[in-house]
């Protein structure tokens, strides 16, 4: 089958000034691919928002135009943190063909703009990318959802968990700002002995939130414990979350990214190392001003 490459036009999103309620510090987002992700995870929020409008195609996502990305980047203030991969994975398999993320990172380096990479791929740890990832600018979060390769493959078509763990350990050993992102954290899919033996100093945890689409697609777990409703999503109650977080013991720093307001306040006050930044990013150079 031959696919036509469609352009992804809305690749850049900036805070609008109306984000007082947002808990996320890094709202500037640049997606090199859109309207589809080859990993096609059953619990994907972006997919749950786009699929019913026929705007989600995991086999042929839209591709952002690098010339337009360059023009946009030239207007971003140096020191800003731009999130790469907010709505799709910027290291999904199509990056091998188009290399838009690669070229974007080069442009961000040139302008001294920080980039927060969130990915379920080990591609970011390949030699080709390590050559261009700038230790002062790159903040890398590699996600896993299960400690078992076969289980994860049932609901996400991404590189295996073992490959992702190897990538995390490699990047951590090289001294980058890297976190194992346990996202979404679904306790029954985790062997805590395996998790706690991963060689990475820092972990970020984000619990699963469930809407009707995710409930329908994600058949590997049951949702009986997801009894708390907020903003059209179901969540685990805080007591259950605390119980599960206590099983994560193998990391020097643990931070929780949270959606439910009362839970967010709890993690911020009792658990997170940086009260102002639940992403807990590390910045080497204080000269570079962060513009969240
Ligand atoms: S990797 Fe991320 S963006 Fe891609 S399908 Fe999975 S959850 Fe969605």
- Would residue 278 count as lying in a domain? no
In a domain, 277, yes or no: no
82 CA to centre of ligand 1 in angstroms: 18
Q: Report the domain count for the chain.
A: 1
- Report which protein residue has its CA nearest ligand 1's atom 5: 40
Q: Which of 89, 95, 141, 210 to mutate to test the pocket of ligand 1 (most atoms within 8 A of CB)?
A: 89
pLDDT band at 287 (very low <50, low <70, confident <90, very high): very low
Element (H, E) at 228: strand 228-230
Which tens digits make up the pLDDT trace of 106-155? 999 999 999 999 999 999 999 999 999 999 999 999 999 999 999 999 99
Do the domain assignments include residue 43? yes
- 249-to-125, 201, 205 alpha-carbon distances in Å: 25, 11, 13
Mean pLDDT of 28-56: 96
Closest C-alpha residue for ligand 1 atom 8: 44
Selected residue with higher pLDDT from 232 and 154? 154
For residue 18, what pLDDT is reported?
A: 60
Task: For residue 152, give every residue at least 6 positions away whose Cβ sits within 8 Å of its Cβ, in sequence order, or none.
Answer: 144, 145, 146, 158, 160, 161, 189
Burial of 288 (0-12, 13-18, 19+ CB in 10 A): middle
Per-residue pLDDT at 289? 44
CA of 173 to the centre of ligand 1 (A): 26
Residue 122 and residue 163 in contact, taking contact as beta carbons nearer than 8 Å: yes
pLDDT at 292: 44
Domain range holding 82? Answer: 21-270
Tens digit of pLDDT for each residue in 256-281? 999 999 999 999 999 999 999 999 99
Q: What phi and psi, each to the nearest 5 degrees, are found at residue 249?
A: -125, -5
Residue 121 lies in a domain: yes
Structural domain contains residue 266 = yes
Please check whether residue 156 lies inside any domain of the structure: yes
| Ligand 1 mean position, distance from CA 46 (Å) | 7
Cα end-to-end distance, the chain, whole Å: 42
What spacing in Å lies between the alpha carbon of 40 and ligand 1's midpoint?
6
Q: What is the CA radius of gyration of the chain?
A: 18
Ligand 1 binding pocket, CB closer than 6 Å: 37, 39-41, 44, 46-47, 88-89, 120, 156
The encoded tokens of residue 256 equal 């929780």
State how beta strands 177-185 and 138-144 pair: parallel
Tell me which of 120, 142, 164, 206 to substitute to probe ligand 1's pocket, judged by most ligand atoms within 8 Å of the beta carbon: 120
Distance 259 CA to ligand 1 centre (A): 18
Could you give the C-alpha distances from 75 to 104, 107, 116, 173, 217, in angstroms and in order?
14, 12, 18, 34, 40
Distance CA 16, CA 28 (A): 10
Closest ligand 1 atom, residue 120 Cα: 1
At residue 247, φ and ψ (nearest 5 deg) are -80, -10
Dist. CA 285–CA 79, nearest whole Å: 10
**Each residue's pLDDT tens digit, 32-42:** 999 999 999 99
Best residue among 31, 33, 34, 37 to mutate for probing ligand 1's pocket (most ligand atoms within 8 Å of CB) is 37
| Residue 145, pLDDT score | 98
Q: Pairing relation of β-strands 29-30 and 12-13?
A: antiparallel
**pLDDT-based confidence at residue 285 (cuts at 50, 70, 90):** low
Domain assignment of residue 93, yes or no: yes
Put simply, whether the predicted model's pTM sits higher than 0.75 gets the answer: yes
Is 5 within the bounds of a domain? no
Q: What is the pLDDT of residues 181-227, one digit of tens each?
A: 999 999 999 999 999 999 999 999 999 999 999 999 999 899 999 99
- Residues contacting 249, CB < 8 A, separation 6+: 192, 196
Burial 219-241 (b: 16+ CB within 10 A, else e): eebeeeebebeeeebbbbeeebb
Q: List the CATH number of the domain containing 145.
A: 3.80.30.30
């Amino acid at each position: 089958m031959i696919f036509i490459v469609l352009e992804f036009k809305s690749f850049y999103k900036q805070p609008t000034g109306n984000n007082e309620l947002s808990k996320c510090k890094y709202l500037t987002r640049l997606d090199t691919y859109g309207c589809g992700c080859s990993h096609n995870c059953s619990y994907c929020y972006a997919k749950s928002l786009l699929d019913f409008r026929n705007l989600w195609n995991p086999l042929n996502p839209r591709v952002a135009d690098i010339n337009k990305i360059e023009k946009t980047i030239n207007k971003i203030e140096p020191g800003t943190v731009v999130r790469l991969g907010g709505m799709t994975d910027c290291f999904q398999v199509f990056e091998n063909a188009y290399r838009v993320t690669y070229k974007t990172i080069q442009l961000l380096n040139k302008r001294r703009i920080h980039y927060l990479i969130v990915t379920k791929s080990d591609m970011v740890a390949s030699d080709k990318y390590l050559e261009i990832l700038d230790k002062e600018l790159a903040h890398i979060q590699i996600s896993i959802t299960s400690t078992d390769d076969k289980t994860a493959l049932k609901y996400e078509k991404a590189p295996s968990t073992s490959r992702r763990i190897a990538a995390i350990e490699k990047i951590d050993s090289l001294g980058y700002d890297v976190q194992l992102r346990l996202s979404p954290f679904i306790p029954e899919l985790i062997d805590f002995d395996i998790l706690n033996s991963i060689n990475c100093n820092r972990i970020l945890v984000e619990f699963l939130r469930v809407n009707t689409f995710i409930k329908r697609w994600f058949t590997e777990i049951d949702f009986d414990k997801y009894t708390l409703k907020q903003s059209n999503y179901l969540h685990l109650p805080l007591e259950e979350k605390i119980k599960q977080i206590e099983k994560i013991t193998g990391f020097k720093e643990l931070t929780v990214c949270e959606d439910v307001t009362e839970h967010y306040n709890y993690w911020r006050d009792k658990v997170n190392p940086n009260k102002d930044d639940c992403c807990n990013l590390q910045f080497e150079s204080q000269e570079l001003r962060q513009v969240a």
